[in-house]
Amino acid sequence: MPAASDPLVRIDNLSFAYHERLILDGTSFSVPRGKVTALMGASGGGKTTLLRLIGGQIRAQSGRVLFDGQDICAMEQSALYEARRRMGMLFQFGALFADLSVFDNVAFPLREHTALPEPLIRDIVLMKLQAVGLRGARDLMPSEVSGGMARRIALARAIALDPELVMYDEPFSGLDPISLGTSAHLIRQLNDTMGLTSIFVSHELEQTFGIADHVVILANGRVATEGTPQHVRESTDPLVYQYVHARTDGPVRFHYPALEMAQDFGVETAP
């Protein structure tokens, strides 16, 4: 049995490709139990792919994804479903069921995965909505709430089964400053009060560094650096420095590879 000090999730020499396009190339890192871990890096670097691999939606070509010591990649369907009951997922933009009320969206996993009576489901749903500040919105439809509210409703749904691990796919994307700050506060608060382990994908540097215990920067299919927010800020790695300080040019070039200007415009150059 894994010890309490062992990481809840461990990515071990993981490689994954979509057809011929290599996304992860021998990636390895750990997610500390009970902490908030941020996955960062340039777009297309494999951050969301990692969440899908941890959840078992896709399988890696090689390597291991260990969840509480068990390899997700090697699990049979029944074992994978059992592991997923210990995970919650906040999809980008919420992914609420448009034809269900706020209450029924949060109740969905409870009705799907448990045999709890409706009065108990009602109490749990109201408690989860209270935790995200939206108990009063229980009778609204998804079309009647703002984008920030939709994320919070989706978060209430993600924690409905009291998971050990909650994963967030770009929870700050497209939010106004107030909603962004609220979402960041909720991730930190729920992680601490519920004893969760959290992994979230983000490009929002200040909010991320403000709530994360552990930051992993991905680049070129591997981990460029990882550690505390302060450690990442002080990294001298050229790619990490460019990313953290928002430099236009660096290892990630501003110009896409192209012919020389003279060649492209048919201009003859002197010998």
Task: Look at residue 105 and give its three-state secondary structure.
Answer: helix
Fold of the 9-86+163-264 domain:
Rossmann fold (3.40.50)
Residue 29 zone, left/alpha/beta (φ > 0; ψ -120 to 50; rest): beta
Which residues of the chain form CATH 3.40.50.300?
Answer: 9-86+163-264
Q: What is the pLDDT of residues 83-109, one digit of tens each?
A: 988 998 888 766 888 999 999 999 999
Please identify which residue in the block is written with the tokens 């959290």: 198
Please identify which residue in the block is written with the tokens 């998971």: 163
* Confidence (pTM): 0.82
Which residue type, as a one-letter code, is found at position 33?
R
What are the Cα distances from residue 90, in Å, to 18, 102, 121, 235?
23, 15, 20, 30
Q: What is the pLDDT of residues 7-17, one digit of tens each?
A: 899 999 999 98
Angle (CA) 143-180-136 rounded to 5° is 45
- The whole-angstrom distance between residue 131's C-alpha and the CA centroid of its chain comes to 20
How many C-beta neighbours within 10 Å does residue 219 have?
A: 20
Phi, psi of 194 (to 5 degrees): -100, -5
The answer to whether residues 67 and 79 touch, using CB atoms and an 8 Å cutoff, is: no
Q: What is the pLDDT of residues 122-147, one digit of tens each?
A: 999 999 999 888 999 999 999 998 88
Q: Which residues of the chain have a pLDDT value below 50?
A: none
How many C-beta neighbours within 10 Å does residue 39 have?
A: 29
